[in-house]
Every structure is written in structure tokens, then in C-alpha cells.
Amino acid sequence: MPEFILIFGVIAVVLTVTALASGLVERSPLSFPLIFLGLGFLLGRHGIGELEIGPQSPLIEVVGTLTLALVLFLDALKLQVNELGKRWLVPALILGPGTGLIIAVGALPFGLFLNFGWILAFIGGAVLASTDPVVLREIVRDSRIPRSVRQVLKIEAGMNDLVVLPVVLVLIAVATDQGGSLGGWLVFLIKLLLLGPVIGFAVGGLGSWVMNWMDEKITIRREHQSLYGVGLVFASYSAATAAGGDGFLGAFAAGLAVVMINQSLCDCFMEYGEVTSEMAMLLAFVLFGVVLSGLLGTVDIVPTLALAALVVFVIRPAVLGAVLAKARMSWQAHAFVSWFGPRGLNSLLLALLVVQAGIPGSELLLATVGVVVMASVAIHGGTAVPVGAWYGRIAAEETLEEERESTVVGLFGGHQGAVPMLTPDELVGRLTRPSPPLILDVRTRASYNHDGTRIPGSIRVLPDAAIEWAMDCLPGQELVTYCSSLDGATSVRVAQQLRGLGFITFVLSEGIEAWRKDYPLEFVEVAV
């Protein structure tokens, strides 16, 4: 069978199996990354041998590059910087001592037990410091788990790549002597840390402004806005790379620009574009499974499995447990957060960058990382459902007040600016009171026009006009905001603004989609 036909067949399997088996997989110990890694392994040299793809293959290079750019863009979108505001402690703890210690401690077994050179050892530690958002997907979407606790995992998965990627790129430059003289190193670091991000932010910012302007003029469909977001990913990567900067950091910076400038575009991408990105990630898992199938024979399996055990069971739980010691969390929440740090596609993609740089021993490093990833995907993916259910039951019965806060800020300090969440049932209960709250529909213009329904009795308020609307209301009024995104980014931002004006604000958890599951909606006339 020609290779290209088989690859098309693999893509077909990825798409159809993901759709048909989604409900079953979500309720089972299996995970899609494990399934598709296994499929790739089966197709490779140690399986039926239908595909031969090496780590230097142009196919894996193209798919890996595009996927890593998408992953970093998504990481930036999921940060929800508006929720963190001036609270620097959480990202500082996770970015600084958290990720730094995981890199340093993770390098030790590479150098001491697996006999890698220390540069490759620290690269290995950095590569395995990256956590995988695909494996974490079901956990961070599980409404039984307090939102603040899920936010800790989301922040870590989104922000650690911001430290890990530059560390990997600098270590690759050291291994290949890209800098040369002191002046050469200064130029290299400026290009790496400033040029790529600046260009990426400019592309993302300009693109966000253009989309906002066009949407106001002619109303662009949400699915088309998400395609536009994918275009911004590739545009930012290409522009930053062409200018001599790092395209991956450019893609991350473009995502930050979208979050800050055009929340509507951010919501659209998270609603539609994220699915496209996840399909690309799952295809990459298949291809990496094929690659790892061919490299498995190069690995000393016993010490590599010992490394996997250290990474999964010891290093991250110990480091995160220490770093988050001052968080106001129950021991169950501490255990939950410290446990769920799965290694996955991000680690494989970063290891691929090392192979592409041509560093001696890099293919063995990729194979070693691959074994750790397969172990982590199997263990963390297999425990996601039972451990999530366990902590969900505990959280429903006995949870610290800080864990019930709407944002992660409550776990680390005062609650200024934190907005409590309401479930649809809780909102219905409040509506029966003598002085019920006002319900504000603060969806973006595109989201509102696309849907055509709303919660009965809700008041339509454009998110950017909320403060102006509030000028005609008396402070002290109880308000409940909702939007269309599951993480409530827009509704949280508006609720925080209104709370600052003296209103008592709440946010409907998971927005209109949560209400739609159990309660009726009313249709509204919208402009097309």
C-alpha cells in the first residue's frame, strides 16, 4: 500500500474514532492520547510495520512544527490573564520555583543513571517539565471539581511552556555553539526572548483589531472567526521565524494579544478552533507512535522505566507539593493537583526540536522521553476518571471556602476581585427570593447573534458597555452574568468590573450551555 494512502487512512481513523468513541472514552480508563499512540506504535516497526517514519522525516517535522505552534497559542488563550489581574503569586510560584525545580531535579536521573551528557540531561529535565493539556482536558472540564483547583492545573499547563521552551532553545544553542562570542550570545538572546514575542504580539494584536473591526461592520460567523484564529497562529509563527526570532514564542505571544484585545475571537477559537487543534494533536500522537516504535530498540528499558516512575510518582508531586505548601487547600486538593501532571505531546514536540538540531544522542533522548510519555499517558489517563470522581465527591461534601472561590486567587490570599460561581440550580433558587438578582447576558456580539436564544428574563448588555449600563443602576444590586464559553472568561471579566463599582456579582458557571442542559431558553430576534 502506498504510504500516502495509508496516512490518509490514519487521518480518517483519527477523525472518525475520536467522534464515535468520545462518550465511551470519557467514561473509561482509556484516553485518546493513549489510543492514538498505541495505533502509531502498531503501525510502526515493532507492530505490523506498515509505516516507516523516522525522527528526521519531513512529515513529522511539518506536523510537529504546526502542532507545537497551535499548542502554544492555545496555552496563551487559556491563561485568562484578566482573572489573574495583579495577583502575581500564583504564576510566580509555578513559573519560578515550580518549573525550575522540576527541570533541575528531573535532569539528575538523566545524567546519573542514564549516562547522558549534562547538557542533554538538563534538556531532558526541561522537556519532561512540560505538562500535557490534551491528557488534562477531561479533568479541567469536570464541573464536580472546584473551579479554583482546575485553574491551578490550567495555569501550570499553560505557563510552564513559557519557561520550558526558552530553556530548551538556549540549551540547544549551547550544545550546538550557536552563540560563539559574548556579543553573539547577547544577539542570540535578544532575538530569542524579544524579537519573536514582539513580532508575534504585533501580528496577533493587529489581527485581533482587524477581526473586531470587520465583525462590527459585516458580522462574521463564529466558525469563520475560529479559522481566522488558526491563520493568526501560522502568520505569527512565520513572521517571527522570517525575522530571525523564534516562531514558537511568537505564536504564544500572538495568543496573549488575542486574549487582551479581542475576547470574542478568543471565545470563538476556544469553541471551534480548539477542536481542529486537538485533531492535529491526536494525529501527531499517531506519528510519534510510529517514530517511537522504530526507536524502542535503542533504549535501555529498565533504567528508562525507573526514570518514568521517578517522573510520575516522585519528582513532580514532591516539587509541586512543596511549592504549593502555602496554598489554602485541603490535603485532598493538594494531592489532586500534585498528582495530575501528565507528560504528553508537548514533551515529544520539544524533544523533536533537539533531534532537528542534530545534537549527538538526541534520538536516544527522544526515545527515552517517549517511554516516559507512554507511561505517563497510561497512568494519568487511566486514573483521571476514578481520581476525578473521588475528589469530586469530597469537594461536594466538604471543601474549604478558598477551594470554592471562582478563581485560583482565593487559594493564595485574599479574595478581592474573586467572583463566586453559581450553578443553574443555585441561580433558580435565588430567582425565587423576594429580591431576585438581575441576570445579564454579556456574550460577545458574534456569540449572541449566532445563538438566537437566551436565559428567560436576562438583560442583554454588551461586555464593553457594561460600565456604561451600570451608571443607570443603584450600587448594591445583586447581578449574575453569563456568557457562552465554558470557562466564563467574558462573564468573569464583566462581573469583576461591576463588583468594583459596588455591585454584588456572581457568574453562572459554564454559562448558557450549563443552563441549556436542564432549563428552557427563550428565542430572541437578532441581527444577521
Residues 388, 470, single domain; the answer is no
Judgement on whether residues 131 and 255 belong to the same structural domain of the protein: yes
Residue 262 and residue 238 share a domain: yes
* CB contact at 8 A, 509 and 480: no
- Positions of the chain with pLDDT under 50: 1, 85-86, 414-416, 527-528
Domain total in the chain: 2
pLDDT digits (tens, 9 = 90+) for 106-154: 999 999 989 999 999 999 999 999 888 777 777 777 777 887 788 788 7
Q: Which range of residues forms the domain containing residue 493?
A: 419-523
Q: Point out the domain boundary residue: 356, 372, 404.
A: 404
- E strand or H helix at 421, and its extent? strand 421-422
Q: Which three cell numbers stand for residue 503?
A: 455591585
Pair 431, 364 in one domain: no
Task: Tell me what pLDDT residue 125 has.
Answer: 95
- Does some domain include residue 344? yes
Give the per-residue pLDDT at 90. 63
CATH number at residue 495: 3.40.250.10
Give the span between the Cα atoms of 386 and 527, in whole angstroms.
46
410 in any annotated domain: no
- 368 and 470 share one domain: no
Do residues 35 and 67 both lie within one domain? yes
Cα 348 to Cα 363: distance, rounded to the nearest angstrom: 11
The predicted structure's pLDDT at residue 220: 82
Half-sphere exposure of 37 (CA within 13 A, CB side): 22
DSSP-derived secondary structure for 452-486: -EE-TTPEE--GGGHHHHHTTS-TT-EEEEE-SST
**Residues 68 and 203 reside in one and the same domain:** yes
Domain end call among 378, 404, 430: 404
Same domain? For 382 and 444 the reply is no
Listed residues 346, 370, 404: the one ending a domain? 404
Q: Quick check: is 488 in a domain?
A: yes
In a domain, 411, yes or no: no
Alpha-carbon gap, residue 138 to 388, rounded angstroms: 9
Global pTM reads 0.74
Same domain as 435, residue 350 = no
Answer yes or no: do 245 and 159 share one domain: yes
Question: Is 412 a domain residue?
Answer: no
Number of neighbouring beta carbons within 10 Å of residue 14? 22
Residue 409, in any domain of the structure: no
Same domain, 339 and 423: no
* Domain presence at residue 388: yes
Q: Are residues 516 and 385 in the same domain?
A: no
**Helix and strand numbers, DSSP H then E, in the chain:** 26, 7
Residues in the chain: 528
In a domain, 27, yes or no: yes
CA angle (461, 465, 471) in 5-degree steps = 95
Q: Indicate which CATH number applies to the domain containing 244.
A: 1.20.1530.20
pLDDT number for residue 416: 46
